[in-house]
Amino acid sequence: MPSHTRVEGSDLVTLQKSDAADRSVRVDWNSYASAYDLLSEHNPEYQALLHDFEAFLATIEKPRLIYDIGGGTGNYTKIAARICPESEIRLMEPDAGMIGMAKSKLATHGNISYGTLALEDIAASEAADLVICVHALYTMPSPEERLVDLRRLLRPGGWLYLIDMGRHMDVRDWRNYLFSSLRQQLGLAGALRVFWQGREIAKQNKNIFEAQKAGDYWTHSEAELATAATAAGFEIVRKQSVYRGYSDLLVCRARA
């Protein structure tokens, strides 16, 4: 389970391989946080995922209790809070920088509570109707077991909206893609400005790649993710390759 080490006022998630040796590569989500929303806003693929989530929410009965696991800066929680104002939403995010951004961004919503526990440490008091987990599972220790934790949070028949990065992060490919998208949106000077402001993302993306190569972060095919979700007690309703083929989206229901 990740431990959280306070270093010069910031939380670094010290990644550990199962319960044994320290993981060799660190991704500093805290440094990631300030640049995260800037680039996400201008990343059409990130925006497409948010649109998919919003469209999905419109198709299901309004959930009473929602968890957003590894909710980061709160972009999925924000959509859930807007579409489901009557729902109780719990954003769970262990990183101080990410959750800090979420809290300031979502301050006007009265139906969101915040928790800093890692998924594996959450003792759910009530079963949720919807669990959101986007681009967080692959970073967690023992992800197949974490899928069982996601199932544990849900009532039978409850929904899991899961997106996970399965393929190696090709930093150059993403940099080229983002730069050409930014250039189309903002022109050359605007693209250079946002790239400079968001330069921390490139650094952390490289750390993600290193963690994947070292086997500390999970890589998987769509079929492997689906098999793991089925084994954890989910029925798969929709599966799709997304995020330029780097990630997999599964919409699942918790089996009884």
- The footprint of ligand SAM (CB under 6 A) covers 2, 13, 29, 69-72, 75-76, 92-95, 98, 118-120, 134-136, 139-140
Of 33 and 182, the one with the shorter C-beta distance to ligand SAM is: 33
C-beta of 37: minimal distance to ligand SAM in Å?
9
C-beta of 244: minimal distance to ligand SAM in Å?
15
C-beta of 253: minimal distance to ligand SAM in Å?
21
Distance of alpha carbon 147 from alpha carbon 231, whole angstroms: 9
C-beta of 237: minimal distance to ligand SAM in Å?
20
Of 94 and 233, the one with the shorter C-beta distance to ligand SAM is: 94
DSSP assignments along 15-33, one per residue: -BSTTSSBPS----HHHHH
Question: In the 8-state DSSP scheme, what is residue 87?
Answer: S
Of 22 and 156, the one with the shorter C-beta distance to ligand SAM is: 22
Of 50 and 226, the one with the shorter C-beta distance to ligand SAM is: 50
Q: Token pair of 77, please? A: 């929680």
Contacts of 38 (CB under 8 A, 6+ apart): 194, 197, 198
Closest residue to ligand SAM in the complex (CB): 72
Burial of residue 225 (number of CB atoms within 10 Å: 0-12, 13-18, 19+): buried
Q: Token pair of 37, please? A: 């929303």
